[in-house]
Amino acid sequence: MKQFSIVIAGGGSTYTPGIVMMLLDNLDRFPIRTLKLYDNDADRQAVLGEALEITLKEKAPEIEYIYTTDPKEAFTDVDFCFAHIRTGKYRMRELDEKIPLKYGVVGQETCGPGGIAYGMRSIKDMIELIDLMEEYAPDCWMLNYSNPAAIVAEACRVLRPHSKVLNICDMPVGTLRRMSQIIDKTPEELDVRYFGLNHFGWWTSIKDKDGTEYLPQIREYVKENGYLTQVEVDTQHMDQSWQETHKKAKDLLAVDPRFLPNTYLKYYFYPDYVVEHSNPNYTRANEVMDGREKEVFSTAKVIIDKGTSEGSEFSIGSHATFIVDLARAIAYNTHERMVMIVENNGAIANFDDDAMVEVPCMVGTDGPEPLCQGKIPEFQRALMYQQVTVEKLVVQAYMEGSYQKLWQALTLSKTVPSAKVAKEILDDLIEANREFWPELK
């Protein structure tokens, strides 16, 4: 069996240990010869880097391991780059969330003005990362989680159309895990039909391998409980605020009971509710800094202090299943079916060819082959057209340095009530993002 070489870009990410633990757990089905961490923040990465060095020495000493801030060292001789960078880190996520809230508008990592601001920061770093990968490892695949995935994917489509970059999201996988719990199955037993954009989609079918359709049964449950399940099915989205999001899916379903909604639609269907239930002084970024970030980094420090991972191991991240399965699908041409972000080109029959959509694909050595989802109803189509245009305008605004286009993007976002509010938020975001955004004229 071939052994693979992997670089994790964003080595200092809170998700890095969970992915590494998942890789270690899967060595029999996905053997690794080299593992590298790469980050542009040496100090942040060193904490996780050192703790993982101790962990790897104990669990898989045969794997060659380094952590580095040198792109050449990081990208030379690698087969896969798992990317999850966050340009501006949590300090900027916090501002993305708090600035719109000052104006009574949804403050969210990937949706509305916050997502647009994050998109404007991410594009440059993502393109640079792709170029580094191609310079040092021309055959490497980048499996990219870095957000906002919709805007990053559109930027890749326009700026690096031939690059081997696959943009993915763990939400369809995570929610399918909850659905499988509702019907007492496992995700592996189920095939879905799904259409939409990233963080903006619907399931139209959930079938087992015999072809039995479970959507009506799941719908009855979601009508009452949303995707909130009794059993702990997910270690990633268990915080109270996430539980409320899973539950809120029942109100999303009510808007169109034909399909099962992605939880992210709550920011577009119920922005007033979201704002009322947000604390403008303590947002999700604060929860994450006080929660996941503290937990992961303090575990790392314990491992380093003790010089061993025994008794204080990192846990396997459920978030990591998708990326490992995806790497396997490419490595072994498995043709596994996975929901991915790809250029539409007819997958959604009555939607623009050049839109980056999220649909099920067969994945093999040549990457994803989208499965046709047919025509979609006008309600979803109109919503998606509005949202995908926001995403396209952001990428154009970035490329042209256009204030006008970014203002239009914010004005068009369903989360923003008027051009006036859009302008006020934009002017604040420009101030906050001086270090990161191109100059807008």
Which of ligand G6P, ligand NAD, Mn ion, none is residue 39 near (CB under 5 to 8 Å by kind)? ligand NAD
- Closest CB 327 distance from ligand G6P, rounded Å: 18
Determine the Cα–Cα distance for residues 233 and 183; give it in Å rounded to an integer.
Answer: 13
* C-beta neighbour count of 424 within 10 angstroms: 17
C-alpha closest to that of 128 among 114, 148, 142: 142
131 is catalytic: no
Binding mask 81-120 for ligand NAD (x = CB under 6 A): ---xxxx-xx------------------------------
Instruction: Look up residue 21 and give its two tokens.
Output: 């633990």
Burial of 168 (0-12, 13-18, 19+ CB in 10 A): buried
Based on the shown chain and the rule CB under 6 A, indicate whether residue 178 belongs to the binding site for ligand G6P: no
Based on the shown chain and the rule CB under 6 A, indicate whether residue 320 belongs to the binding site for ligand NAD: no
**If you ran DSSP here, which 8-state letter would residue 315 be given?**
P
Instruction: Look up residue 207 and give its two tokens.
Output: 């079938």
147 is in an annotated binding site: yes
Which of ligand G6P, ligand NAD, Mn ion, none is residue 343 near (CB under 5 to 8 Å by kind)? none
Say how many residues touch ligand G6P, by CB under 6 A: 8
Among 168, 288, 304, 347, binds ligand G6P (CB under 6 A): 288
Among 94, 96, 125, 170, binds ligand G6P (CB under 6 A): 170
Determine the Cα–Cα distance for residues 337 and 194; give it in Å rounded to an integer.
Answer: 12
Whether residue 384 contacts residue 194, with contact meaning beta carbons closer than 8 Å, is answered with no
Binding to ligand G6P in span 8-67, by CB under 6 A: none
Determine the Cα–Cα distance for residues 335 and 30; give it in Å rounded to an integer.
Answer: 16
End-to-end CA separation in angstroms for the chain: 54
Among 106, 171, 304, 393, binds ligand G6P (CB under 6 A): 171
Omega of the bond leading into 417 within 30 degrees of 0 (cis): no
User: Per-residue b/e over 303-316, b at no fewer than 16 CB within 10 Å?
Assistant: bbeeeebeeebbeb
Among 171, 179, 357, 422, binds ligand NAD (CB under 6 A): 171
Among 35, 169, 218, 429, binds ligand G6P (CB under 6 A): 169
Say how many residues touch ligand NAD, by CB under 6 A: 27
93 is in an annotated binding site: yes
Three-state secondary structure call for residue 143: strand
125 is catalytic: no
284 is in an annotated binding site: yes
For the sheet containing 141-144, what is the strand order? 64-68, 32-38, 4-9, 80-83, 141-144, 165-167, 336-343, 356-364, 367-370
Based on the shown chain and the rule CB under 6 A, indicate whether residue 381 belongs to the binding site for ligand NAD: no
- Closest CB 83 distance from ligand NAD, rounded Å: 8
Determine the Cα–Cα distance for residues 236 and 345; give it in Å rounded to an integer.
Answer: 33
- Closest CB 439 distance from Mn ion, rounded Å: 29
- Closest CB 199 distance from ligand G6P, rounded Å: 7
Burial of 91 (0-12, 13-18, 19+ CB in 10 A): exposed
- Closest CB 171 distance from Mn ion, rounded Å: 5
The catalytic residue positions are: 170, 264
Report the interface residues with ligand G6P, using CB under 6 A. Answer: 109-110, 147, 169-171, 284, 288
Report the interface residues with ligand NAD, using CB under 6 A. Answer: 9-10, 12-15, 39-41, 44-45, 84-87, 89-90, 125, 129, 145-147, 149, 169-171, 319
